[in-house]
């Protein structure tokens, strides 16, 4: 299975988020496709614009609550992107390591990313809104 993150849209990460994502990728637990996930996250950080301030008012960051739509799925969804240790699907906290987490991180409000599903299908994902750091990043 190939893991791919659409890099056509410029992603912006805070310096803290970039460091955290790099650390998580470099210390990847034994997961299916761990090497691909780590490589994707490291590529994402390398290609992102890294800024000193927290861009949460305009971009999805770690701990951000984000509302998005997915082409082919009715309605909006709202989740919080978190480190794997803080993930809880029932509470709407999705891990950065998930396809949704990777598709959303760093995207600006109004942008589209590509959500690659485990079955290989892709869907466009559109960021509608984001709110700043409702949870600690790690």
Does residue 97 fall inside a structural domain? yes
* pTM, to two decimals: 0.85
Distance CA 40, CA 18 (A): 13
Task: Kindly report the three-state secondary structure assignment for every residue of 53-76.
Answer: CCCCCCECCCCCEEEEEECCCCCE
Mean pLDDT by 10 residues, the chain (138 residues): 55 94 88 85 93 85 94 92 93 93 94 86 92 60
CATH code for the domain of 105? 3.10.50.30
Does residue 3 fall inside a structural domain? no
The confidence score (pLDDT) of residue 47 equals: 93
Could you tell me the residue range of the domain that residue 59 belongs to? 12-131
Does residue 93 fall inside a structural domain? yes
The confidence score (pLDDT) of residue 34 equals: 85
**Contact status, residue 13 vs residue 48, Cβ threshold 8 Å:** yes
Does residue 4 fall inside a structural domain? no
Distance CA 51, CA 61 (A): 12
The confidence score (pLDDT) of residue 5 equals: 52
- Neighbour order of strands in the sheet with 76-82: 93-95, 76-82, 65-70, 122-131, 112-116
Ranges of beta strands (E only) in the chain are: 12-14, 49-51, 65-70, 76-82, 93-95, 112-116, 122-131
Does residue 138 fall inside a structural domain? no
Does residue 2 fall inside a structural domain? no
The confidence score (pLDDT) of residue 8 equals: 60
Q: How many domains does the chain have?
A: 1
The confidence score (pLDDT) of residue 138 equals: 43
């Amino acid at each position: 299975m190939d893991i791919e993150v659409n890099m056509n849209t410029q992603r912006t990460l805070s310096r803290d988020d970039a460091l955290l994502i790099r650390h998580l990728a470099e210390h990847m637990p034994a997961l299916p496709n761990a090497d691909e996930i780590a490589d994707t996250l490291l590529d994402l950080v390398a290609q992102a614009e890294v800024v000193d301030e927290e861009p949460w008012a305009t971009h999805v960051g770690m701990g951000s609550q984000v509302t998005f739509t997915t082409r082919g799925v009715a309605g909006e969804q709202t989740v919080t992107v978190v480190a794997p240790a803080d993930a809880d699907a029932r509470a709407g906290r999705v891990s950065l390591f998930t396809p949704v987490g990777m598709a959303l991180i760093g995207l600006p409000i109004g942008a589209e990313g590509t959500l690659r599903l485990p079955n290989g299908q892709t869907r466009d994902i559109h960021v509608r809104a984001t709110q700043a750091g409702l949870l600690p990043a790690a």
